[in-house]
Amino acid sequence: MAASKVRPHNLNCFTCQSRDRTEWCVLSEDELELLDRGRVTKEFMPGEVVFHEGDDCNGVYCLESGLVGVRKTNADGNSILLHLDSPGDTMGYRAFLAGEEYQASAEALEPSRVCLIDAATVRSLLAHNPALGLRYLKRVSRNLGAAEEKILHNATLSVRARFAHLLTVLVDRYAPSKEQNPIEFELPLSRHDLASMIGTTPESMSRTIAKIEQDGIAIFSGRKVIIPELNNLVQEFEPEHFV
């Protein structure tokens, strides 16, 4: 596997198109200058690892472009895909805030450009800008809520309903157009990763896909997905959901 590359370019934190979607949007110009000096930007090809589970935390990572999957290894040595990070997402911040090692690995799923902000820079910015710390607190709270929602889904929804819900999330993120049926898009994940994201086996995932195709809810060809009617997909999980 080729090593990631430090990419020479003229982009900086002032011109980054993803910055407004990050915690760093609250920084002043002087603080942005400090952030820019404290970053190293690298490019990763699919399959390359941004950081490994168990590595010492040397800062936080900002995804400028591409797609990254966050994985954890279970007791049997299997890789479980926990969630996806898109441009504007910050990775590794929980390990940084907790003062611990990275608790999961981050792997590029498509060509990605990632900025590492070194730990000293992050500490300095947090010390001088309370709004930045509040932004991170809100992100932790949102992610905790999402984790609780996932636990609820895994405990109360069928595999079919969980997969339908995941498909709607992927449609929202990756479908070029969601305004008109049918909806077509490319899955960013393998079927093995799809299975791990909804807490089932690849075999059960294959059976579920076959049944959904048979019922006309979605059509799969490799990673290409066609959804004839989005409302029919949504109805697969909404009746089973409760608060």
How high is the pLDDT of residue 5?
58
Give yes or no for residue 136 having a pLDDT over 60: yes
Does residue 219 share a domain with residue 99? no
- 136-140, 156-160, 175-179: which range is least confident on average? 175-179
Q: Give yes or no: residues 141 and 30 share one domain.
A: yes
Residue 15 included in any domain? yes
Structural domain includes residue 152: no
What local confidence, expressed as pLDDT, does residue 117 receive?
96
Given this model, what pLDDT does residue 77 score? 79
Residues 30 and 115 in one domain: yes
Structural domain total, the chain: 2
**Higher-scoring residue by pLDDT: 75, 47:** 47
Considering the domain boundaries, does residue 100 fall inside one? yes
Q: What is the mean pLDDT of residues 2-7?
A: 52
Domain boundary among 122, 145, 168: 145
Give the pLDDT band of residue 242 (cuts 50, 70, 90): very low
Q: Which whole number is the average pLDDT over 57-82?
A: 91
243 pLDDT higher than 70: no
What is the span of the domain harbouring residue 139?
5-145
Query: In this structure, what CATH number is given to the domain that contains residue 81?
Result: 2.60.120.10
- The answer to whether residue 241 scores a pLDDT higher than 50 is no
Q: What is the pLDDT of residue 24?
A: 93
Cα distance between residue 83 and residue 77, in whole Å: 18
Q: Quick one: pLDDT band at residue 146, thresholds 50, 70, 90?
A: confident
For residues 84 and 130, membership in a common domain is answered with yes
Q: How many residues does the chain have?
A: 243
The label of the residue with tokens 């607190």 reads 137
**What is the overall mean pLDDT for the chain?**
90
Domain identity same for 36 and 83: yes
Residue 151 resides in a domain: no
Domain boundary among 145, 171, 201: 145
For residues 43-71, average pLDDT? 95
Q: Pick from 83, 74, 84, 240: which is nearest to 162 by CA?
A: 240
| CATH code assigned at 234 | 1.10.10.10
Tell whether 62 and 117 lie within a shared domain: yes
Higher pLDDT, 152 or 115: 115
10 and 105 fall within a common domain: yes
Structure token digits, residue 110: 């498509």
Structure confidence at residue 25 (pLDDT): 93
pLDDT band at 213 (very low <50, low <70, confident <90, very high): very high
Closest by CA position to 99, among listed 122, 116, 115, 83: 122
Task: Give a yes or no: residue 150 inside a domain.
Answer: no
> Pick from 17, 186, 7, 195: which is nearest to 114 by CA?
7
DSSP string over the chain: -PPPEEPP-S--TTT-TTGGGSGGGG--HHHHHHHHHTEEEEEE-TT-EEE-TT----EEEEEEEEEEEEEEE-TTS-EEEEEEE-TT-EESHHHHHHTS--SSEEEEEEEEEEEEEEHHHHHHHHHH-HHHHHHHHHHHHHHHHHHHHHHHHHHHS-HHHHHHHHHHHHHHHH-S--SSSSEEEE-SS-HHHHHHHTT--HHHHHHHHHHHHHTTS-EEETTEEEES-HHHHHTTTGGG---
Residues 12 and 115 in one domain: yes
Lowest-confidence range among 10-14, 62-66, 70-74, 112-116?
A: 10-14
* φ, ψ of residue 203 in degrees (nearest 5): -65, -45
